Amino acid sequence: MSQLALFDDQTPVPQGLRTTPDFISRTAEKELIARIAELPLAPFQFGAFEGKRRVKSFGFRYDYTLQRMLEAEPIPDWLEEVARRVADFGGLPDDSVRQILCTEYEIGAGIGWHRDKPHFDKVFGLSLGAPCRFRFRRRDGAKWQRFTLDAEPRSLYLMDGEARRVWEHSIPPVEARRYSITFRTMKR
């Protein structure tokens, strides 16, 4: 399947967005899901609010109450190889991924419109278990330009350039349990 087959029949594809299907095998996908399901996942904390999705951060975590980036548990061995392959996909040195977020979306969970924190640089996402509609929007005068990526299980996306810094993204409530692993590099 070509990369373009992952995109809806819409324009424009946000500049800086790159994807690849089948970044990992079905066996690797099962293993990663089993590892994530064993983690002490906790509801995403957004100040006084709790998100429906459950997460676990490694390397760094952003604390919304303190509005600060804090150190988190180190990236575990079982994520190291995939993090190196992700960095390679981005044309980056092996050790570039410094923050990893594992997320579980139960049926009905999603994520609201946002851009990732400015402390992070490039953002990669590996989809596991079920597809989602990964939506993008950016202001265009009084209107929004919109783009939707159908993020299939085992596919990887990279948000860099305008896709990372100008466009916002969100995921509407998922229809089957989805996991994702977000890999982030840090700004210097």
Ligand X SMILES: O=C(O)CCC(=O)C(=O)O
Binding mask 134-163 for ligand X (x = CB under 6 A): ------------------------------
- Does residue 111 interact with ligand X by CB under 6 A? yes
Measured CA angle at 70 (ends 66, 75), to 5 deg: 150
- The CB-nearest residue to ligand X is 180
Q: How far apart are CA 133 and CA 171, in angstroms?
A: 6
Q: Does 99 bind ligand X (CB under 6 A)?
A: no
CA distances from 76 to 57, 98, 99, 174, 179 (A): 11, 12, 11, 27, 17
**Cβ contacts of residue 11 below 8 Å, gap of 6+?**
none
Of the pair 96, 182, the CB lying nearest ligand X is at 182
- Length of the chain equals 188
Sign of CA dihedral 140, 163, 24, 74: negative
Q: Are the C-beta atoms of residues 154 and 29 closer than 8 Å to each other? A: yes
Residue 101 engages ligand X in binding (rule: CB under 6 A): yes
Using the rule CB under 6 A, which residue among 103, 121, 174, 183 binds ligand X?
A: 103
Report the nearest approach of ligand X to the CB of residue 116 (Å). 5
* Minimum separation from the CB atom of position 143 to ligand X (A): 23
Count of residues that interact with ligand X, criterion CB under 6 A: 9
Nearest distance from C-beta of residue 136 to ligand X, angstroms: 11
Binding positions for ligand X, rule: CB under 6 A? 101, 103, 111, 116, 125, 169, 171, 180, 182
